[in-house]
Amino acid sequence: MSGNCEVFNLKELEADLDGFSKLAEFLRREVGIFLTVSDKNRTLLAGRLCKLLPSLGMANYTELHRALVSGRADVREVFISAITTNTTHFFREMPHFDMLVKLMKELTQRPATKKARTLRIWCAACSSGEEAYSIAMVVRNLLPSLENWNVRILASDIDLEILAKAARGVYPATALESVPQEYIGQYFERGTGDSQGFVRVRRSIRELITFAPFNLMTSAYPFQTKFDVIFCRNVMIYFDRPEIQSTIKKLESSLSEGGFLFLGHSETIMGSIPNLKSRAAAVYQKQPVIVRKGDAA
């Protein structure tokens, strides 16, 4: 149970099956989070919302759902922030970053890429920013002189509050425990005075990244330029099968030919997406489309 929630109110929320179902359907439709009707999920939702509801002047799920479907953006923002789980750290699932080093060398040596000197990377569901900054550190370490390269990293999330935190690039010094030693001195500055005990990602890394809101449930991804690398890890664990298949297809369509898609190690491609070939655990490469004779009329 959440610390300051009254037992009566918490139990009342847990017992509201109709309200739970309405909020669960809103989450699935708008965000892709799939909450099945179970005791565990009913307790989870009640625990997350028992303090939020009074702060919004609401007494129950019905009032919250009414505000959400009426289009109140302020309520939607705090509701999504309360529900989403922003668990991450620098260089999470380190084998993926070792693989990124290898694949970045492939990318930068391709004739077309080498000639254009451009790299586009998308870190989807970036949470508080550690993953995007980890990617940027790898890129800058491999291309120490970026003057001749146009490198842009898009980092997106649906939670506006967590995006604002990510853009600041300030973290407790303990967050450096998972950062390779070679990166700490190069890419972080330590706080002094009132900021003692905190670190900030250096400008040379922050300037590579644009943080922006984006919902993976968008029907079609509107990017004009395709990405060379996409990280979309540990977010589809909340989706059900149709949403997983739909999201992966949209991610694949946003990749350039030969580009790489990184999923979470607990996630797999469901269904048949022949253009994606496995390169490592939860890492896929987009293959050229093969047009057979007779396919094109």
Whether the per-residue pLDDT at 2 is higher than 50: the answer is: no
List of long-range contacts for 73-81, beta carbons under 8 Å, 24+ apart: 76/30, 77/159, 77/160, 77/161, 78/52, 78/161, 79/49, 79/52, 80/31, 80/158, 80/159, 81/159, 81/160, 81/161, 81/162
Domain ranges within the chain, ordered by starting residue: 7-83, 94-286
Average pLDDT over residues 132-161: 90
What does the block give as tokens for 72? 């109140």
Contact status, residue 83 vs residue 48, Cβ threshold 8 Å: yes
What is the pLDDT at residue 226? 95
What is the pLDDT at residue 240? 76
Burial of 224 (0-12, 13-18, 19+ CB in 10 A): exposed
Whether the per-residue pLDDT at 281 is higher than 80: the answer is: yes
What is the pLDDT at residue 110? 85
For a pLDDT cut of 70, what percent of the chain falls above it? Answer: 92
Contact status, residue 131 vs residue 231, Cβ threshold 8 Å: yes
What is the pLDDT at residue 12? 87
* Torsion of Cα atoms, 250 then 121 then 202 then 87, to 10°: 30
CA distance 200 to 187: 9
For 219-228, write each residue's pLDDT tens digit: 889 999 999 9
Q: pLDDT higher for 296 or 166?
A: 166
Taking all residues of the chain, what is their mean pLDDT, rounded to a whole number?
A: 88
CA distance 108 to 220: 29
Whether the per-residue pLDDT at 287 is higher than 50: the answer is: yes
pLDDT band, very low/low/confident/very high, at 174 (cuts 50, 70, 90): very high
What is the pLDDT at residue 129? 96
CA distance 217 to 246: 9
pLDDT band, very low/low/confident/very high, at 109 (cuts 50, 70, 90): confident
pLDDT band, very low/low/confident/very high, at 295 (cuts 50, 70, 90): low
Selected from 3.40.50.150, 3.30.43.10, 3.30.70.100, 3.40.50.2300, the CATH number assigned to the domain covering 94-286 reads: 3.40.50.150
Q: pLDDT higher for 135 or 295?
A: 135
Least confident of 37-46, 81-90, 188-197, 201-210: 81-90
CA angle, corner 165, sides to 210 and 51, nearest 5?
135
Whether the per-residue pLDDT at 8 is higher than 80: the answer is: no
Please name the amino acid found at residue 114: K
Of 156, 149, 155, 189, nearest to 173 by C-alpha is 189
DSSP collapsed to 3 states, the chain = CCCCCCHHHHHHHHHCHHHHHHHHHHHHHHCCCCCCCCHHHHHHHHHHHCCHHHHCCCCCHHHHHHHHHCCCHHHHHHHHHHHCCCCCCCCCCHHHHHHHHHHHHHHHHCHHHHHHCEEEEEECCCCCCHHHHHHHHHHHHHCCCHHHCEEEEEEEECCHHHHHHHHHCEEEHHHHHHCCHHHHHHHEEECCHHHCCEEEECHHHHCCEEEEECCCCCCCCCCCCCEEEEEECCCHHHCCHHHHHHHHHHHHHCEEEEEEEEECCCCCCCCCCCCEEEEECCEEEECCCCCCCCCCC
What is the pLDDT at residue 297? 44
pLDDT band, very low/low/confident/very high, at 207 (cuts 50, 70, 90): very high
Least confident of 26-30, 36-40, 191-195, 278-282: 36-40
- 263: CB partners within 8 A, 6+ apart: 232, 233, 236, 269, 282, 283, 284
CATH architecture, domain defined by 7-83 = Orthogonal Bundle (1.10)
Residue 138 exposure: Cα atoms within 13 Å on the Cβ side? 25
